[in-house]
Amino acid sequence: MSVTLQKRLWRAVAEGDEYGAVDVLSGALADGLDEETLLLDVIAPVQEKVGAEWAADRITVAQEHAATAINERAMAALAHRGQDAVGRPPHRGRVTVACIDGEWHAFPARLVSETLRLRGWQVDYLGAQTPTPHLIAHLHGTNPDAVLLSSSIPTHLPTAHGAITACQAVGAPVMAGGLAFGPKGRWARALGADEWAADARGAAAALEAGLSRPRPAALRQAVDDLPHLADQEYTLVVQNRARLVRGTLSDLEERFPAMRSYTDEQRERTAEDVAHIVQFLATALYMDDADLFTAFLSWTAGILEARNVPARSLLAGLDILAGQLHDFPRALALIRDGTGVLADRPARPVPGSETPA
């Protein structure tokens, strides 16, 4: 039944039909399907499909935003309809759910919040990009049993690290969740999180099992958890990020004169791509993890290929960046790993060309 409902909900979402989406869920409720199943086995997979369709260049950014908004409204409508339901589980405790500062992808956090409410938790849902000082002020006023921090983009990991240690310093245990924290939560553990959950059901199970409340202590420094930061490579790359981006763009134009005829929009997109490379390089330095950088490059290559841009165009940018970072051994090692991953990708012909890109 869930697969059929997913198809019906996807059809409504793809057509921009908010009322149709709500009707699909309302009808399923009337047929006896429970709210948690609708949240996690119908709405969540459809939202994943929204992201996949954008990555494959089958829907535009605007369509992706519209689809996400409809899914959010449908989820809210489902939650509101359920408020009058009887037989809810007893109150379990109070938790705070928030996105890391800078994280705009709030859908996963909202999904977790609604699931926990169904399980009997009082949830303070703080939404997207919650500044850490405001989060801590909220904790002082509410004293929750746990804080659940969500992030989808790995470049927010340094900010997440600060938020985790700040919450623990006031005695609140922290559960991390979201794609930003890596496969099986490996980066959540590296940052000192008390728990990690792969999904909403996992988060609920971990809370029900109980999280140990840390003893309030002095705020840890980042280097206490990540000793490699003592070499200052991360700090220096972040401080010189704008210069690195400008230098890379300038050298790219020298190597590829065709860039001089780019439109303003093309120049802006290219600058964004280079800035993202530098940001992910810096984050990989922070975590001292090559997989973080190479996974981003592989993902970016797939995005470019879906838009008929040769993925190997990234190699020139990496080469120029390496030239600017010749005194940074860890950064150079990361760039070598990234270059190897891209060089090993099979060349794909760009439509309309005679030879592989």
Mean pLDDT comparison of 12-16, 71-75, 159-163, highest-scoring range: 159-163
pLDDT score for 352: 39
The pLDDT tens digits of the residues spanning 45-62 come to: 999 999 999 988 899 999
- Reply yes or no on whether the pLDDT at 113 is more than 80: yes
pLDDT score for 356: 34
pLDDT score for 79: 78
pLDDT score for 311: 78
Label residue 253 by pLDDT band (50, 70, 90).
Answer: confident
pLDDT score for 269: 85
- Reply yes or no on whether the pLDDT at 116 is more than 90: yes
pLDDT score for 304: 85
pLDDT score for 77: 86
- Compute the distance between CA of residue 227 and CA of residue 225 in angstroms, rounded to an integer: 6
* Mean pLDDT of the 192-221 span: 88
pLDDT score for 357: 32
DSSP 59-82: S-HHHHHHHHHHHHHHHHHHHHHG
Question: Helix or strand or coil: residue 348?
Answer: coil
Question: Helix or strand or coil: residue 97?
Answer: strand
Label residue 353 by pLDDT band (50, 70, 90).
Answer: very low
- Reply yes or no on whether the pLDDT at 348 is more than 80: no
* Inter-residue contact 181 to 188 (CB < 8 Å): yes
- Across all residues in the chain, what is the average pLDDT? 90
- Reply yes or no on whether the pLDDT at 105 is more than 60: yes
CB atoms within 10 A of CB 83: 8
Considering the chain, what percentage of its residues have pLDDT values greater than 90? 76
- Reply yes or no on whether the pLDDT at 227 is more than 90: yes
* Mean pLDDT of the 218-240 span: 93
Nearest-10 Cα torsion for 300, 301, 304, 305: -150
Label residue 211 by pLDDT band (50, 70, 90).
Answer: confident
pLDDT score for 299: 93
In this predicted model, which residue has the larger pLDDT, 354 or 331?
A: 331
pLDDT score for 262: 83
The pLDDT tens digits of the residues spanning 299-316 come to: 999 988 887 877 777 999
pLDDT score for 256: 80
Question: Helix or strand or coil: residue 146?
Answer: strand
The pLDDT tens digits of the residues spanning 269-281 come to: 889 999 999 999 9
Two structure tokens written together for 72: 């959010």
pLDDT score for 350: 42
